[in-house]
Amino acid sequence: MNYTVYRYLLFAFDDHESYGGMNDLVFKFNTFDEFINNYEYKDLYYYQLVDTTDFSFKEFSTSIIYHVGIDDYNKIKKQREKEFIKWVRKQVE
């Protein structure tokens, strides 16, 4: 059998919908370029990035709050995506 080894495992969930463990895995990658070229952003509130070299992890939660009926969701989602990508870049580069 051939197995692909990934450096990073990305888990994501909303606090009211986490499945736990590997069920929250949303992406695996080795480099930031691989991440940025292949990841489809999911607008979730919590993220955990595991570095498989030592199984350390970093946590991220968006600081941008969406106010239903007041804010433009698509605008908020784009802002959250930029914030999240900036965080991932900082963690892996």
Cα gap 37→6, rounded to integer Å: 16
pLDDT in tens, 4-14: 899 999 999 88
Cα gap 35→38, rounded to integer Å: 5
The mean pLDDT of 27-44, rounded to a whole number, is 96
* pTM for this prediction: 0.87
- Where exactly are the structural domains of the chain? 8-92
- What pLDDT, on the 0 to 100 scale, is given for residue 18? 58
